[in-house]
Structure 1
Amino acid sequence: MDKDFKTKISKALGDDVLRGALGRFGDAYILARAKAYEGYDFDALSENIVQVKSYAANHIDEMMDQFEKAATARGAKVYRAATATDAKKYVSDLVKKKGIKRIVKSKSMVSEEILLNDDLIADGIDVQETDLGEWIVQLAGQHPSHMVLPAIHMTKEEVATTFSGHLKRVEQPVIAELVKTARVELRKKFLEAEMGISGANIAVAETGTLMMLTNEGNGRLTNTLPPTQVFLVGMEKFVPKFEDAQHIIQALPKSATGQLITSYVTMITGPTPAYYADGTIKDKDFHIVIIDNGRRKMFNDEKFKKTFQCVRCASCLNVCPAFQLLGGHVYGHIYTGGIGTILTNFVNSERDAKNPQNLCLQCGKCTEVCPGKLDIPQMILELRNRMGEKDGIGAVPKFALDVVSNRRLFHSMLRVASLAQLPFSKGQPVIRHLPMFLSGLTEQKSLPTVAKVPFRDVIKKVKQEVKNPKGKVALYAGCLIDFVYPKIGEGIIAGLNEKGYEVVFPDGQSCCGAPATYMGDRKNARKCAVMNIEALEAEKVDYVVSGCPTCTHALIDSFKELVEDDPALLARAEELSRKSRDFSKLLFDLGGLPAGGDGVPMKITYHDSCHLKRSMGVFAEPRKILTDTAGVELIEMKESDRCCGFAGSYSIKFPEISGPILDRKMKNIEETGADFVVVDCPGCLMQIGGGLDKKNPKIKVIHTAELLLEKRKNSKKKNKK
């Protein structure tokens, strides 16, 4: 990651206007989208889109042949462009052949992708964007910052200033007046234009029909008024039949802007007639350019084939915590956000995607709202790992991950750290200040200290009184429970003992490899996977339990992928996957704990871990377990499942982004009036606990397992008295 990119991040974070505009839209979008989908089965609608688009992807050449035959029969000229250069040359040659000097454009991110405007303007052509947002950014000398809302990053005051500079007259920052100005200025451009260039949201193979979903009349004016029409269509826009388009038409507006339907749904099947001043009537010159430009390579890659299911709604951008802070001019190249990063890697270059891919938090919120059911975070991880294998991840991160994947060395260093930290902790359980170049790590939050006695030593002294055991559970602690929060481990043992299960702790376990995975070091991630598969010996226990959802995700999903090249290891990884559960989930599945607790009133709120809720679908279970505990009152917080900003190494790599995300979480916590925040993730505990220690130490953070341990311990003490 280069210094210039870090500078862009700092500039965006310091732009209150940008953050305000993106934040207001993000908040409004969530409500609007939910309202738009009322009465609709989002999962069923998404599944229809997946079926239609995946079929098209698997029959892409057949789709294009069928489309070309149908479109040509209706008077269109169809050209297939293998590269951006091919597409630009086709349009440029057409412009020169017909002597065109004035062009109007609408609804075409593909033209941005291939930088078509730059080439045409260099040839002396007057190229005019006519979408209001596109026109604004064109006048401002920028590229779109969002795939659906190109000028979302600009306020009405900035737009007024841009208009005033272009028109050489003062424009007031009144939205209705600015729209009126745009209408007056652009209308004459439509009438003068000799060529119209448009994009398309859908291309129907069966009929040769192009469909556009728009909220402005400029789209129709662009593809009806000029005598020469050119449509630029990416290969991913195909659907087999006319009725297949209905699923996208239903989902796209709701997911893009929270609308039930766009103002205009335009369907173009062949050229429309042109009426000339001499009274003659003849069809317009109608061209369709189908563009590959890296798409086929993307679709042929098994890890990225599902990108064909993207309908370009940009809902993934609208809910992304990082995008809401930085905008598309930082988080993106031409295409923006998480999906934009993936597209950029294939249709532009790996170099253009390298910096933006770092910004993904892996929170999974984008996957939750995607109507094409794309696992965007997983695809970004794949990019990250490929880049890491090709270019390396840097000397310092590589050294750190080499240490982490060496169990004996790593654990020895953590034991040394428990003593070395004393000058910084001053005897407290947290470190509030670090010196010099490390100071940024404690600017927004405190850090927990390494435990004096790690859990792997604590468990040797824990008495497990289980009469007639029902079975045996292996406890996988991960780094934080083992060396920072051993009390959580004690809570897990107590809960499972009460359910009749003996808990064992395999000494050979170590880091789950998530830090290596999320930093693009597949080699060290695999080393960690192998080490833990062999140590945990899932074949010998009934369950493997973890108190960290990130670790549980690794046990269930990541390990299998990392060892898939070794059949013997893969079989063991699959056994481990089948038996692995997160603590709250396992306790719930075992019937929960009998009603109990000390009955002392305790007002709590609950924060959902990203991995627990979105990767494993565990949401109601911990709430049920907590509210069954005597005295516990649960107050739901706003955005309980919004990322806290920890994201593993992300909070170290990007503390300036992690900090504002944490601030929002703390604000939501404070608004509940709760005394405790309960979490099921040690990473979230570390992040939220550190933030509250700095800014509101009255509110405490506790893991579900630890809360149950304390409440039931206190109850036993009461009963003894």
Structure 2
Amino acid sequence: MADQEFKGKIEQALDNSTLRGALGRFGEFYEKAREQVYEGYDFQALRDQVAEVKSYAASHLDEMLDQFERAATARGAKVFRAETGEDANRYISELALKHKVKSIVKSKSMASEEIHLNDALAAKGMDVQETDLGEWILQLCHQTPSHMVMPALHMTKEQVADVFTDHLGRINDPDIASLVKTARSELRSKFLEADMGISGANMAIAETGTLMVVTNEGNARLTATLPRIHVFLVGVEKMVPKFEDAGCILQTLPRNATAQAITSYVTMVTGPTPVYMPDGSVRDKELHIVLMDNGRRKMYADDKFKKTFQCIRCASCLNVCPAYQLVGGHVYGHIYTGGIGTILTAFLNEEKFAENPQNLCLQCGKCAEICPGRLDIPEMILELRTRFAQKKGLPFTQKFALDIVANRRLFHSLLRVASLAQKPLTKGQPVIRHLPMFLSGLTEKRSLPAIAPVPFRDIFKSIPQNIKDVKGTAAFYAGCLVDFVYPKIGEGVIAALNDKGYKVVFPEGQSCCGAPAVYMGDKPNAKKSAMLNIEALKAEGVDYVVSACPTCTHALKDSYPALLSGDPAWEERAAVLSRKALDFSKLLADLGGLPEGGDGLPLKVTYHDSCHLKRKMGVYREPRAHLSRTAGIELVEMYESDHCCGFAGSYSIKFPEISAPILEKKIKNIEATGADVVAVDCPGCLMQISGGLDQARSPIKVKHTAEILLEKRHRQKNQKLS
């Protein structure tokens, strides 16, 4: 659980309207621009190439390093392998002292931020000057980067103008072109006077000993060419086998990082460059290459995190992260920011620095969807979360709640009691709009649904299933929300599957899918839920197991096999359940869908994509097709339909201050469609969005796809009967 200092940083960031505005504008620009710049390119094929190239280099790392060192040394460079950050700092500091270096210019190096190289050099009496525009701005105002590619993304031109004014002692207008011109003028003398240049690199080509640097500013080339000594500081994960392998990275890096087809400069350094002396003579400068480990091998050796070597540091995961777009990078508390930054921090700095930031991940999966290196960042963050929970334990209240949820009989009994005890709060309505005292924050920005007076498991017994030609049997896994809050969704699932000739059974021994335990890092309770549900569902005896909650479906299909892997008593049963488990819209589509039909009454519907359904299962066309084939429905697409609604299970309770603005943005997009109904396939999204619309006193309703199909087609059947 996040500590109070961390929560304070979040609140401070959320209160910063300038920061929110800058991040929000960039976020909206980025997604559109990125989509346009990939037109005509097969992104999936490109990311396959990137993953293949980078994973090959990682799995042959010693071979790559040896080959690179031989090639670079043969061309006149001096290569040093630094096992730790201290080793790298020591080598560079001693090199600078040996050559009586007084002034240093730096460019393009997050690795130097990682090991605090500037501080190490300053302690030896050297003047260290950042020359990337964003890094220079941050150096002047004593801040760390808030983004791995655009370090000063959080600042406006007005703020930069004020920084320049304070530093230079003269007024600077907030005009970007003028500010850039000022920076060039001020930094030019630094390049000319510098004794040493220090650079990072985007790629190190093992075949030729080449360092490749991708930038939008000319400072990287000046850093590499003007000073008499040049040092490259490069993490060992930057290795690429051959020159031709760089092509796929050069195509994806700028497109994913800044939505550009190509950056202004692609600089390649192979061996020392000539230095022109004041007396007219020419000599080769000294070129030193520091290949740094500093925890990278340890990261690769861990099976759960080895794919981090496929990261090309484009920072696109930050650009699309709902949490990052609200709070920025400084909340993450260290050099590396965002989802991938949290993972890097845990290995390359200290694990404790990642403990609070990992909680910021909503598990929406947007980052994994666009990552050019095919990293599943949310899964890695979940692994970190689980390890923290195993080492330190969960807070008492979380552990107590999860223990109750994992006890099916106790949990269900409490829900039945709560359905009666809630009456003073519901005031006869199907929602709870206000909670008392310390619980009031839960209903500050959204209403909560009332627990159903009769759970689905009781209703199921009275549902007639009149099927003329039974084709098979499907076990219905309801999950907590359908069972105890939205039973009508279950009725819709049964009606649709009955129409397709499938009898539905409801195993009463089923309980919570265990997702809350998984997402809080409570592996023992997650396994307990997995075993309980596998035993209850008995997938071996049915044709399908259907769920109307994508989070539950993901648990049945993916989480259970992972949780029970290596357990002979449960592994095969988990595999059988995984094969047979399908989400409602997917199963209905696989069975051919429902025929054209419906009551014909006009209904304008917009669709919100569940993060789990679209990104974990690739299902988004199917529910739209079901709705479009229903007479009377006009389906209108909303802007950013696949953006998270901010629910994310317990996230909306742990971080209501982040969940609320994400929800507000979703509601604005919904209202802009003019729809009567928002269709969803996730009960959690239904709860979040309907709660927000209710608090906003909006007439727009939110319904599950199965519920809409039931209403539109049930009404049609009644019309025929009458």
Provide TM-score, normalisation by structure 1: 0.99
Matches within 5 A, 1:212-611: 212-331=213-332, 333-611=334-612
Question: Equivalent residue for 2:100?
Answer: 99
Instruction: Measure the CA separation in 2 of the matches of 1:31 and 1:431.
Output: 38
Cα pair distance change 1:17/1:134, threshold 3 Å: same
Encode CA deviations 1:269-324: one digit per residue, 9 max, x unaligned: 00011121233322111100001011001111111111111100011110111110
Instruction: Measure the CA separation in 2 of the matches of 1:490 and 1:331.
Output: 45
| Contact 1:332 1:340 survives alignment (8 Å) | no
Question: C-alpha displacement at 1:467, in angstroms?
Answer: 2.0
Instruction: Measure the CA separation in 2 of the matches of 1:423 and 1:332.
Output: 44
Instruction: Measure the CA separation in 2 of the matches of 1:166 and 1:436.
Output: 50
| Contact 1:332 1:341 survives alignment (8 Å) | no
Instruction: Measure the CA separation in 2 of the matches of 1:292 and 1:393.
Output: 33
Gaps in structure 2 of 5+ consecutive residues: none
Question: C-alpha displacement at 1:123, in angstroms?
Answer: 2.2
Instruction: Measure the CA separation in 1 of the matches of 2:196 and 2:356.
Output: 37
| Contact 1:111 1:232 survives alignment (8 Å) | yes
Encode CA deviations 1:598-646: one digit per residue, 9 max, x unaligned: 1111100000000000100001100001110110110100000000000
Question: Equivalent residue for 2:135?
Answer: 134
Question: Equivalent residue for 2:717?
Answer: 716
Q: 1:116 is aligned with what amino acid?
A: L
| Contact 1:538 1:575 survives alignment (8 Å) | yes
Question: C-alpha displacement at 1:101, in angstroms?
Answer: 1.0
Q: 2:585 is aligned with what amino acid?
A: S
Provide the secondary structure at the position in 1 that maps to 2:706.
helix
Instruction: Measure the CA separation in 2 of the matches of 1:606 and 1:332.
Output: 37
Instruction: Measure the CA separation in 2 of the matches of 1:646 and 1:33.
Output: 26
Question: C-alpha displacement at 1:570, in angstroms?
Answer: 0.8
Provide TM-score, normalisation by structure 2: 0.99
**Is the deviation greater in 276-285 or in 657-666?**
276-285
| % same residue | 70
Question: C-alpha displacement at 1:495, in angstroms?
Answer: 0.6
Question: C-alpha displacement at 1:597, in angstroms?
Answer: 1.3
Instruction: Measure the CA separation in 1 of the matches of 2:533 and 2:87.
Output: 51
Instruction: Measure the CA separation in 2 of the matches of 1:174 and 1:121.
Output: 32
Q: 1:633 is aligned with what amino acid?
A: E
Q: 2:666 is aligned with what amino acid?
A: K
Provide the secondary structure at the position in 1 that maps to 2:33.
helix
Provide the secondary structure at the position in 2 that maps to 1:330.
helix
| Contact 1:455 1:482 survives alignment (8 Å) | yes
Provide the secondary structure at the position in 2 that maps to 1:128.
strand
Provide the secondary structure at the position in 2 that maps to 1:603.
strand
Instruction: Measure the CA separation in 2 of the matches of 1:332 and 1:658.
Output: 20
Question: Equivalent residue for 1:702?
Answer: 703
Question: Equivalent residue for 2:631?
Answer: 630
Provide the secondary structure at the position in 2 that maps to 1:568.
coil
Provide the secondary structure at the position in 1 that maps to 2:511.
coil
Provide the secondary structure at the position in 2 that maps to 1:267.
strand
| Contact 1:512 1:554 survives alignment (8 Å) | yes
Please provide the CA RMSD for this pair. 0.8
Instruction: Measure the CA separation in 2 of the matches of 1:50 and 1:197.
Output: 29
Q: 1:468 is aligned with what amino acid?
A: D
Provide the secondary structure at the position in 2 that maps to 1:223.
helix
| Contact 1:323 1:331 survives alignment (8 Å) | no
Q: 1:709 is aligned with what amino acid?
A: L
Q: 1:334 is aligned with what amino acid?
A: I
Q: 1:187 is aligned with what amino acid?
A: R
Question: Equivalent residue for 1:641?
Answer: 642
2:142 pairs with 1:144: no
Instruction: Measure the CA separation in 1 of the matches of 2:279 and 2:31.
Output: 54
Provide the secondary structure at the position in 1 that maps to 2:73.
helix
Instruction: Measure the CA separation in 2 of the matches of 1:222 and 1:421.
Output: 68
Gaps in structure 1 of 5+ consecutive residues: none
Instruction: Measure the CA separation in 2 of the matches of 1:80 and 1:332.
Output: 28
Q: 2:401 is aligned with what amino acid?
A: A
Q: 1:628 is aligned with what amino acid?
A: R
Provide the secondary structure at the position in 2 that maps to 1:290.
strand
Encode CA deviations 1:678-711: one digit per residue, 9 max, x unaligned: 0000000000000000114300000001111111
Encode CA deviations 1:359-385: one digit per residue, 9 max, x unaligned: 001000111111111111011001100
Instruction: Measure the CA separation in 2 of the matches of 1:595 and 1:254.
Output: 42
Question: C-alpha displacement at 1:332, in angstroms?
Answer: 5.1
| Contact 1:148 1:256 survives alignment (8 Å) | yes
Encode CA deviations 1:13-41: one digit per residue, 9 max, x unaligned: 11110000000011111111111111001
Q: 1:393 is aligned with what amino acid?
A: L
2:48 pairs with 1:42: no
Question: C-alpha displacement at 1:565, in angstroms?
Answer: 2.5
Question: C-alpha displacement at 1:505, in angstroms?
Answer: 0.7
2:654 pairs with 1:653: yes
Question: C-alpha displacement at 1:105, in angstroms?
Answer: 0.2
Number of matched residues?
Answer: 721
Instruction: Measure the CA separation in 2 of the matches of 1:216 and 1:150.
Output: 14
Provide the secondary structure at the position in 1 that maps to 2:225.
coil
**Is the deviation greater in 672-681 or in 117-126?**
117-126
Provide the secondary structure at the position in 1 that maps to 2:533.
helix
2:19 pairs with 1:18: yes
Instruction: Measure the CA separation in 2 of the matches of 1:476 and 1:537.
Output: 11
Question: Equivalent residue for 1:166?
Answer: 167
